[in-house]
Homo-oligomer: A and B are copies of this chain.
Amino acid sequence: MPAYVLGHKIPDSDSICSAIALAHLKNSIGESAAPARLGELNPETAFILDTFGLEAPALKTSFAGESVYIVDHSDRAQSPDDLSEATILGIVDHHKLGDITTSAPLECWIRPVGCSNTIIKEMYDYYGIEIPKAIAGIMMSAILSDTVIFKSPTCTPLDIAAVEALATIAGVEDAKAFGVEMFKVKSNVQGTPVRELVMRDFKDFDMGGKRVGIGQLETVDLSVFDPIKADLQADIARLKAEGERHSVCLLLTDIMQEGSELLVVSDDLSLVENAFETALVEGRAWLDGVLSRKKQVVPPLEKAFA
């Protein structure tokens, strides 16, 4: 029986690509492993897998009795609901340390870098395993996605070096140009239901005992959201009520302007205003320079909610 390699709920490109890349590495060093996904692929991830000719991992949401490797998170809220009934063999992640615990020793490769795939690149090097061309391509893509083509404050020299090495293996001549193509796919919101957009990259956090949902949509041109901004705002209000959340934030990130428009609904808007030292107008504010949920949005909110 293989160990499953799984990312977080509402998978993004890093969660899917790192599951595939880590499963391949584990198989290469003699451990049986298979990637899994906890939800539907987003358009960006589908574009990446299609470009490099790889199949999506099988959909699987229950892991009771299984052995698992966890990638791209260490929070129970983002894990399968029955994770406590699985045996966690390891965690590869680049976020803050969450509340997952284990009852036996395990391996954790957690680094303050921009993307889980940067760490998996390090693991391939550690074990001296050659990275197949297609897997190098999806690993490179995930790093470009997570680091917003190196613009995110989460990006480190290790991420840039990993992209350069992976692009060479994948035969991609201009990684940055490929990244812009990828973000154009991500920016295409026409005809997509509003709820699907809000949920495309949405995570729940426990902040001081309160449930706070934070979504993010990245675009190369913020104006694509102009016709639907009111709908997005109405939808996060519904999402707040449905999930008994204290607050829901949606970041509309413009990677060219390098900042995000924040949409918020909350039981206490002043907490959010304090977190970002800004005044909300009709539940909105422009956060200049804010590209990273992980580094620029979650920590100040956690501090405000503490």
> Which A residues are closer than 8 A to B by beta carbons?
88, 91, 94-113, 126, 154, 294-295, 298-299, 302-303
A99 contacts B96, CB within 8 Å? no
Collect the chain B residues with CB atoms within 8 Å of residue A98's CB: 101
CA distance in complex: A136, B105 (Å)? 25
CA distance A107 to B97 in the complex (A): 9
A109 to chain B: which residues have CB within 8 Å? 108-109
Q: Complex formed: what's the CA distance from A107 to B110 in Å?
A: 5
Distance between A203 CB and nearest chain B CB, rounded to angstroms: 15
CB<8 Å pairs between A and B, sample of 8 = A91-B97, A95-B105, A96-B102, A99-B99, A105-B112, A105-B113, A106-B112, A107-B111
**Across the interface, do B104 and A299 meet the contact criterion of CB distance under 8 Å?**
yes
Determine how many copies of this chain the complex contains: 2
The answer for the CA separation of A110 and B111 in the assembled complex, in Å, is 11
B101 and A105 form a contact (CB under 8 A): no
CB–CB A96/B101 < 8 A:
yes
Taking CB atoms, residues of chain B closer than 8 Å to A102 are 96-97
> Of A110, A294, A303, which is in contact with the most chain B CB atoms at under 10 Å from its CB?
A110
Cβ-closest chain B residue relative to A306: B103
Which chain B positions have C-beta within 8 A of A303?
Answer: 103
The 5 closest A-B pairs by CB, nearest first: A108-B110, A105-B112, A97-B102, A108-B108, A96-B102
Q: In the complex, what's the smallest C-beta–C-beta distance from A242 to chain B, in angstroms? A: 27
How far is B94's CA from A298's CA once the two chains are assembled, in angstroms?
29
13 further contact pairs, Cβ within 8 A, besides A91-B97, A104-B295, A104-B299 = A91-B108, A95-B105, A96-B101, A96-B102, A97-B108, A99-B101, A103-B298, A103-B303, A105-B110, A108-B108, A108-B110, A108-B111, A110-B110
CB distance from A215 to the nearest CB of B (A): 20
Q: Decide if A106 touches B97 in the complex (CB within 8 Å).
A: yes
By a CB distance below 8 angstroms, the chain B residues around A107 are 110-112
Residues on the B chain within 8 Å of A108, using CB: 91, 97, 108-111
State in angstroms the CA–CA spacing of A218 and B104 once bound together.
22
